[in-house]
Amino acid sequence: MGIDKTDDSAMAQQYAVVAASQRLGRPFYTPQPQASSIADLRHDDPGERCDLWGLYVGPDMVGTVTLWLPLHDNTDTVWLQLDVHPDHRGRGYGGLAGAAVVDFARDLGRTRVVTTARYPADRPVDHPYRRFAEQHAFRLGSLDVNRRLPLPVPAPVLSGLAERARAAYLPAYRIETFTRVPDALLAPLCACMSRVESDAPSGELEWEEEALTPERLRGFAELDEHVGRLRITSVAREAESGEVVGYTELFIIGGTTKALQSGTFVVSEHRGHRLGLGLKVANLVALQAHRPDAVEIFSINNAENTWMVAVNEELGFEPVELVGQFYRQLP
């Protein structure tokens, strides 16, 4: 049944189930604070709809389904996150929920359901999460790797990497870093960010360009302010035209010490100038200046994205888990 997002008690139950589910077998995992997690789910994004379902045994919520439905791009797809509390697994709840999602997608005229499973690198084939997905007709479409970097990175190391990057991208490009992107840069940043899904390696999964708008970015910034989340955005700009040709973002919530890098991207026509390295170093310098208490940062890259993997390895990131993206194509 659907979860009423305005019901504080139901949302607290949803948070508890997801946190317990996501924590299982992942000693490095720390859930984001309850208040910010709920605020994210309640956020009204004009480009994406978010539905929540609860799985109940009597009055107790034992599982949750989170669905994201793009509204202006990739409208053939339903994104699925399925969480069953560890105390209630092995009883068929996940399979029933997955079948209901497939029926839901068909009723909406959507032809693809995509979900993510995280599992250790030493069990890439036989982990229960992967077996569960494949038993329910989901196919591995793309494989990402989640990597962790302990903080702080020594200042001399960052300085050396920044100098190496600048030697390759100056004077043709410049890198700028913001804790809130100026309005004048929102439209060109959207144009760059919208190309990530279609340009970045994604295995068997094909994506349209995302329909990001300045309105949506402003909404995300207002949400960040509401929940006390610091967003650091670094952009690479072509010096002659001022065009935004690359970016990276990371997030950290007040009261926590874990930062998340949401994405790093350079448009294909401007690769080969060490902009990826320059962007990541600029973000790390800003993070350590604003939040010297941060102890770690996590970054996810597609396993086929050898250029960005090399940048992460140069910075000192170490793999902690595989992140498989599984899809089911509906007739």
44-96 pLDDT per residue, tens: 999 999 999 999 999 999 999 999 999 999 999 999 999 999 999 999 999 99
pLDDT at residue 196 in the model:
92
**CB count, 10 Å around CB of 318?**
10
pLDDT per residue over 292-309, tens digit each?
999 999 999 998 888 889
Residues 175, 235 contacting (CB under 8 angstroms) = yes
The pLDDT of residue 236: 98
Q: Give the chain's radius of gyration (CA, Å).
A: 20
Sign of CA pseudo-dihedral 19, 20, 24, 26: positive
The count of other CB atoms within 10 Å of the CB of residue 315 is 19
Assign 166 to helix, strand or coil: helix
> Which H or E run contains 121?
none
Whole-angstrom Cα distance, residue 171 to residue 162?
14
Describe the strand order of the beta sheet including 77-84 as a list of residue ranges.
Answer: 48-57, 60-70, 77-84, 112-119, 318-329, 139-150, 296-302, 258-266, 244-253, 229-238, 173-178
What residues does 2 pair with on adjacent strands? Answer: 53
CA distance 124 to 143: 10
| DSSP run (H or E) holding 71 | none
Q: For residue 189, what are its two tokens? A: 């940043």
pLDDT at residue number 12: 98
Residue range 217-272, pLDDT digits in tens: 999 999 999 999 999 999 999 999 999 999 999 999 999 999 999 889 999 999 99
Q: Which CATH architecture has domain 148-322?
A: 3-Layer(aba) Sandwich (3.40)
Please report the pLDDT score of residue 202 as a whole number: 87
Quick count: other Cβ atoms within 10 Å of Cβ 122? 7
Residue spans of the domains in the chain: they are 8-110, 148-322
β strands within 45-193, DSSP E: 48-57, 60-70, 77-84, 112-119, 139-150, 173-178
CA distance linking residue 98 with residue 120, whole number of Å: 23
Render pLDDT for 18-43 as a digit per residue (tens, 0 to 9): 999 999 999 999 999 999 999 999 99
What's the pLDDT band for 14 if we cut at 50, 70, 90?
A: very high
In whole angstroms, what is the distance from residue 73 CA to residue 113 CA? 15
pLDDT tens sequence across 149-185 = 999 999 999 999 999 999 999 999 999 999 999 999 9
Domain 8-110 superfamily per CATH: Gcn5-related N-acetyltransferase (GNAT) (3.40.630.30)
69 with 78: CB under 8 angstroms? yes
pLDDT at 79: 98
Pairing of strands 139-150, 112-119: unpaired
Q: Chain-wide mean pLDDT for the chain?
A: 96
Amino acid at 30: T
Measured distance CA(19)–CA(34) in Å, rounded: 9
109 pLDDT exceeds 90?
A: yes
pLDDT for residue 197: 87
pLDDT of residue 198: 87
| For residue 120, cis peptide bond before it (omega within 30 degrees of 0) | no
What is d(CA 230, CA 106) in angstroms, rounded to the nearest whole number? 38
What is d(CA 90, CA 10) in angstroms, rounded to the nearest whole number?
Answer: 24
- In degrees, rounded to 5, the angle at the alpha carbon of residue 276 between the alpha carbons of residues 74 and 272 is 100
Residue with tokens 């960052």: 158
Q: Which tens digit of pLDDT belongs to each residue from 114-148?
A: 999 999 999 999 999 999 999 999 999 999 999 99
Beta-bridged to residue 70, according to DSSP, are: 48
DSSP state of 122: T
